[in-house]
Chain A
Amino acid sequence: MKFARDTWLIFQRQTQLLLRNPVWVFVGVFQPVMYLLLFAPLLKPALNAPTQAAAYKIFVPGLLVLLAIFGGLFQGFGLIAELRAGVIERSRVTPISRLALLLGRSLRDVVSLIVQAVIITLLALLFDLRVFIGDLLLAYLMLALIALMTSAVSYGVALKVKSEDALAPLMNTVAQPVLLLSGILLPLTFAPGWLQGIANWNPFSWAVDGTRALFAGDLGSDKVWQGLSITAVLAALGVYWAARQFARSVR
């Protein structure tokens, strides 16, 4: 009960601060929209897709997973700013739950990601993308789990390194291979066997496959439950690890 209340308290505060600065909505949507407008048209011929809508069904889920990964991984910067301002230290001398300090922030990140995802989905509808609402909600659940994991990990790393100068290259180094090996921009069906072999070890590649299956309306596909299970386990591990970092910084 106290934990839920504490989490809600932090979530509210973080959301309020986010809304006060609406630039993020613009920034967060501008880039994906550029991909939709300037990159996606290349896909129909490149993917040999029968229609533009079919190309979007492949591209949009990848784009959303990309947003979830990157949006989450870079949240640590905000925490470093808060560390520097003394806000975290101030929270630590109160009896507030340490896990709530983490989860309140990560849930804010999840909600802001879902808002971005909804905006992008709506825009894609204009380009004739069609998805069943039930499948779409499951896809959003997948995105939420990914964002929860990446943002929690980012916060945990931020607490450890305590400096933007260390966090930026670290996160970029992690994000780049994850991105290339997950078939986000182009499906890995085109990849040579060895590349596919490596990608099989990339959990995000499973998440992308699962999300694509959902966008394709293929709810029964094994890829859906596999992707969801893998991301759920990873999210739990990520939150557990980051929570330990929060708890360890102070008992």
Chain B
Amino acid sequence: MIETRGLRKSFRSRAGRETKTVDAVRGVDLDVARGEIFGFLGPNGAGKTTTLRMLATLIEPDGGEATIAGADLRKDPAEVRRRIGYVPQGGSTWDESTAREELVLHARMYGIGKADAQRRAARALDAFQLTEYADRKCKTYSGGQRRRVEIALGIIHEPKIVFLDEPTTGLDPQSRAHMWDEIRRLRGDGMTVFITTHYLDEADALCDRIAIMDNGEVVAEGTPAELKREISGDVVLVGLDLAASPQAAKALDGEPYVNKLETVDEGGLRLYVDEGATAIPQVLRRLDHAGLELRSIELHRPSLDDVFLTKTGRSLRES
């Protein structure tokens, strides 16, 4: 559905008298299949939005190629526009108009006739549970309601692909869960959904496949399960008093089942092991034997953050 090869974009920024060229996106190759929710995960400034805006015809790539829903992005952006929907990050509704007016107008901008546009607006309002507020001004809506209007705008013309730029940023947990359901519903209707996010749990729970982006490049791509499988083994977090940590480290270092050992700053150890379930009893026995009292023990399956950490050397939470 989306195929890109070597997509590039750099911006010139002026700081005082010097012009600096910032390579926002440095050669992105993507293959997104029909009917999947594809997630673009990465920290702020990784180039996610720039890539998305290129794919949505809003900015012209400096280089590379892309085919979107069968149309060539470079040669025929007008046709791409007809086949995609785009929901920007910062909102797209006007305070003084109502959801219904916005939906009708937006449908008509795609060349849809008035009566048809009104029917579509009514259907979209119903599908997104907005009928009750349909004729109130947008400025009276809650964040979640407004986001639903915006998503409804993005799909009013029944595109093959919809691009959602950080669709849940700024929403409370309940609205977020609600939004995930809406996005899954779009997939259920046969649409391909391309989202950007910097939430790990969102990428993990919602997306069929993800690409992790850092510093303008895709550093990993696959299903969340595949990516996590690449990180071999589990992590056992052992909670200890600060004073006891060095002793425990000495006791466990060199044990055959411990691949790697790190001390945690606040006290405690992080053990990288092949199989958490068999390692934990042995850790407990060893520490008991050494006469060390532990405060807690936790088993961590690798998360997407660990994937990010191994690929970039930083944690996504820190960046």
A and B found bound together:
yes
Q: Which residues of A contact B (CB under 8 A)?
A: 2, 6, 9, 13, 16-17, 20-21, 82, 85-87, 89-96, 250-251
B57 to chain A, nearest CB (A): 6
| B92 contacts A95, C-beta separation under 8 Å | no
| A95 contacts B105, C-beta separation under 8 Å | no
Q: Which residues of chain A have C-beta atoms less than 8 A from B95's C-beta?
A: 85
| B111 contacts A2, C-beta separation under 8 Å | yes
Interface CB pairs A-B, < 8 A, 9: A6-B109, A17-B96, A85-B91, A85-B93, A89-B88, A89-B92, A93-B56, A93-B84, A250-B59
A85-B91, A86-B88, A86-B90 known; A13 vs B58 contact (CB < 8 Å): no
Within 8 A of A (CB), among B71-116: 77-78, 81-82, 84-86, 88, 90-97, 101, 105-106, 108-111
| A90 contacts B96, C-beta separation under 8 Å | no
| B58 contacts A250, C-beta separation under 8 Å | yes
Q: How far is the CA of A87 from the CA of B153 in the complex (A)?
A: 11
| A93 contacts B96, C-beta separation under 8 Å | no
The binding surface of chain B is classed by DSSP as: loop
Interface centre among A87, A91, A94, A251 (most CB of B within 10 A): A94
Set A20, A90, A95, A96: member contacting B88, Cβ < 8 A? A90
Set A13, A21, A95: member contacting B78, Cβ < 8 A? A95
Of chain B, the residue at the smallest CB distance from A250 is B58
| B94 contacts A94, C-beta separation under 8 Å | no
Interface centre among B58, B109, B111 (most CB of A within 10 A): B109
| A9 contacts B56, C-beta separation under 8 Å | no
| A20 contacts B106, C-beta separation under 8 Å | no
Set A2, A6, A86, A94: member contacting B106, Cβ < 8 A? A94
A9-B109, A95-B78, A96-B109 known; A90 vs B92 contact (CB < 8 Å): yes
B111 to chain A, nearest CB (A): 7
Residues 142-154 of chain B, each 1 if its beta carbon lies under 8 Å from chain A, else 0: 0000000000010
Within 8 A of A (CB), among B163-216: none
Of chain A, the residue at the smallest CB distance from B159 is A93
A90-B88, A94-B109, A95-B110 known; A85 vs B60 contact (CB < 8 Å): no
A1 to chain B, nearest CB (A): 11
Q: How far is the CA of A90 from the CA of B90 in the complex (A)?
A: 11
A17-B97, A95-B110 known; A86 vs B57 contact (CB < 8 Å): no
| B58 contacts A90, C-beta separation under 8 Å | no
Further pairs besides A13-B101, A93-B85, A250-B57: 13, Cβ < 8 Å:
A2-B111, A9-B109, A13-B105, A85-B91, A85-B92, A86-B88, A86-B90, A86-B92, A93-B56, A93-B57, A95-B78, A95-B111, A96-B109
| B94 contacts A91, C-beta separation under 8 Å | no
Of chain B, the residue at the smallest CB distance from A92 is B58
A80 to chain B, nearest CB (A): 13
A9-B108, A13-B105, A21-B96 known; A93 vs B91 contact (CB < 8 Å): no
Q: Which residues of chain A have C-beta atoms less than 8 A from B91's C-beta?
A: 85-86
| A94 contacts B58, C-beta separation under 8 Å | no
Q: Which residues of chain A have C-beta atoms less than 8 A from B108's C-beta?
A: 9
Of chain B, the residue at the smallest CB distance from A88 is B92
Q: How far is the CA of A250 from the CA of B92 in the complex (A)?
A: 17
| A90 contacts B82, C-beta separation under 8 Å | no
| B94 contacts A85, C-beta separation under 8 Å | yes
Residues 218-243 of chain B, each 1 if its beta carbon lies under 8 Å from chain A, else 0: 00000000000000000000000000
